[in-house]
Amino acid sequence: MYRTVIGLEIHTQLLTKTKAFCNCSADHFETEVNKNVCPVCSGQPGSLPVLNESAVKLAVMAGVALNGKINKISKFDRKNYFYPDLPKGYQITQYFTPIIEDAFIEINGHKIRIKRIHMEEDTGKMLHEGDAISSASESLIDYNRAGIPLIEIVTEPDIKSPSEAREFMERLRNILRYANISSGDMEKGALRCDANISIVNEEKGESSKRVEVKNINSFKFVEKALEYERERLIEIMDKKEPMVQETRGWDANNKKTFSMRTKEEEADYRYFPEPDLPILEVDDEFIEEVKKDLPELPKQKQERFVEQYDIPEYDAGVLVSSKELADFYEECAKKVPDGKFLSNWFMGDMTRIMKEREEEVEDLKLTPDHFKKLFDLIKDGKISTKIAKDIFEEVYDGKDPEDIVKEKGLEQIDDDKMLEDMAREILANNEKNVEKYKNGKTNLLGFFVGQVMKQTKGKANPAKVNKIFVKLLNE
């Protein structure tokens, strides 16, 4: 009955070495507080901004990666407001003319349009003794983050559900990471999401007011916060309660949103052109340079994987969903000639254990050599796939598959004589079944093979055992 309309505003930190407008290091994680500051990013009187070209490059790269139009001429503006984490009392941003317009990401066969991508600078970080600045006994400010280059990505209201919003964010993160534009780490604040949501009652032709939800700091919460907000809006509409256009915050602890301010309380940012920076011009040469440096993106990688490793499109899609996973796959594929063999392990047991243990690709102790040995052991008939599955968790922990097989004596029994003796004994002990088999119940072959496997604890080469039984039973 209700249609959901969602638009996102995403801020992402660019992976530059230095800040947007000065030479301070942009590495603000685990850096001593207020270490990476200078007259410019701490807003000393008389200091002036100088634009970091690498930041421009990454912004243009985002434009290319997200299929956008690059404005050869863009401008910087000032957004004025007072807050202690904002050293100059204004943020340098691009309000009137952004560097990128009309981009998009395709999800589920439809385009989510991106209206604009513009460059701006990050603020400092505050720590309050107490919940908020209003009630804090004291507040501390770290300006290491102040002046880190950001791009803000603003979508059109093309997103149809909370889960699609999450999907968009994940897809976007993936692209940003592939292109080395941003670490895309939401938990660390390198990627931040504000969401606008409203609902439409199609039958009655009524729309709810638009609500902006802020402080969403994980992919899971993008979906959760929007689901909560959608339900809340539906309830208000159903009850015909009055509604305000407002900004709400996401309270991750209590899994609900709370009102921050209404539209009337919004600040007037008094935007005007930044007089300290000239017009930003990017020429064709610069854009070509960026295009040349643009790494392979998920979609292209997926296509290449299908081609190069002869795996299904689905498998390739899963593998490229994370750049790290895809990179590791390629490393392994250099040693293991069977792409499907690898993708099965990657999508199956490996991912399962990673999820159980909440580990990332970079935590893996598994190496391409491990996969190579596992592959060879099976190929050479030394172990069965089943044994391989049994020992995989140990391999995952970094143990050499050959050593495990040796230590545990798991090598397949390949001795024909021994297997034949064993088979004869089993047939002798199961006369009734032999009778039945001979009377046409040939599927009992599996039962006989199973007996050998049981006795050998799975170490017998099942193909060989199979052959032996067929021979004996047809004698």
Does residue 127 touch other proteins according to CB under 8 A? no
Piece in contact with other proteins (CB under 8 A), picked from 81-89, 99-107, 237-245, 307-315? 81-89
State which of residues 46, 242, 409, 440 lies at the interface with other proteins (CB under 8 A).
Answer: 46
Does residue 205 touch other proteins according to CB under 8 A? no
Piece in contact with other proteins (CB under 8 A), picked from 87-95, 322-330, 420-428, 447-455? 87-95
Piece in contact with other proteins (CB under 8 A), picked from 11-19, 24-32, 271-279, 388-396? 271-279
Residue at 222: amino acid letter: V
Does residue 130 touch other proteins according to CB under 8 A? no
Distance (Å, rounded) from C-alpha 120 to C-alpha 149?
6
Distance (Å, rounded) from C-alpha 72 to C-alpha 82?
32
Distance (Å, rounded) from C-alpha 319 to C-alpha 361?
12
What's the token pair of residue 162? 């909370």
Residue at 235: amino acid letter: E
State which of residues 130, 278, 312, 398 lies at the interface with other proteins (CB under 8 A).
Answer: 278
User: Do residues 4 and 230 lie in contact, with contact meaning Cβ atoms separated by under 8 Å?
Assistant: yes
How many C-beta atoms surround the C-beta of residue 219 within 10 A? 18
Residue closer to other proteins, measured from CB, 43 or 450: 43
Residue closer to other proteins, measured from CB, 278 or 446: 278
Beta strands in 156-264 (DSSP E): 191-201, 206-207, 211-216, 246-251, 256-262
Distance (Å, rounded) from C-alpha 71 to C-alpha 60?
9
Does residue 234 touch other proteins according to CB under 8 A? no
Residue closer to other proteins, measured from CB, 141 or 333: 141
Residue closer to other proteins, measured from CB, 50 or 463: 50
Does residue 264 touch other proteins according to CB under 8 A? no
What's the token pair of residue 50? 């100088």
Report, in Å, the least distance between residue 267 CB and other proteins.
10
What's the token pair of residue 41? 């990013």
Q: C-alpha distances in angstroms, 263 versus 4, 93, 246, 277, 386?
A: 21, 22, 5, 31, 63
What's the token pair of residue 28? 């603000």
Residue 228 CB contacts under 8 Å (≥ 6 apart), including other chains:
255, 256, 257
State which of residues 15, 24, 70, 141 lies at the interface with other proteins (CB under 8 A).
Answer: 141
Distance (Å, rounded) from C-alpha 333 to C-alpha 311?
12
What's the token pair of residue 339? 């792409």
Residue closer to other proteins, measured from CB, 122 or 167: 122
Report, in Å, the least distance between residue 274 CB and other proteins.
8
Under DSSP, is residue 28 helix (H, G, I), strand (E, B) or coil? Answer: coil
Piece in contact with other proteins (CB under 8 A), picked from 133-141, 160-168, 315-323, 433-441? 133-141
Residue closer to other proteins, measured from CB, 137 or 443: 137
Does residue 314 touch other proteins according to CB under 8 A? no
State which of residues 138, 268, 284, 431 lies at the interface with other proteins (CB under 8 A).
Answer: 268
Residue closer to other proteins, measured from CB, 146 or 336: 146
Distance (Å, rounded) from C-alpha 173 to C-alpha 175?
5
Report, in Å, the least distance between residue 234 CB and other proteins.
33
How many C-beta atoms surround the C-beta of residue 226 within 10 A? 29
State which of residues 25, 31, 51, 297 lies at the interface with other proteins (CB under 8 A).
Answer: 51
Distance (Å, rounded) from C-alpha 342 to C-alpha 371?
8
Piece in contact with other proteins (CB under 8 A), picked from 274-282, 330-338, 380-388, 467-475? 274-282
Piece in contact with other proteins (CB under 8 A), picked from 8-16, 225-233, 268-276, 377-385? 268-276
State which of residues 2, 4, 26, 49 lies at the interface with other proteins (CB under 8 A).
Answer: 49
Report, in Å, the least distance between residue 215 CB and other proteins.
19
Residue at 12: amino acid letter: T
User: Do residues 142 and 124 lie in contact, with contact meaning Cβ atoms separated by under 8 Å?
Assistant: yes
Distance (Å, rounded) from C-alpha 390 to C-alpha 409?
13
Report, in Å, the least distance between residue 93 CB and other proteins.
13
Does residue 88 touch other proteins according to CB under 8 A? yes
Q: How many residues bind other proteins (CB under 8 A)?
A: 32
Sign of the alpha-carbon dihedral angle for 182, 186, 187, 193: positive
DSSP H or E run through 77: strand 77-80
Pairing outcome for strands 280-281 and 100-107: unpaired
Does residue 138 touch other proteins according to CB under 8 A? no
Report, in Å, the least distance between residue 222 CB and other proteins.
30
- For other proteins, the binding residues (CB under 8 A) are 39, 42-51, 78, 80, 82, 84, 87-90, 133-134, 141, 268-273, 275-278
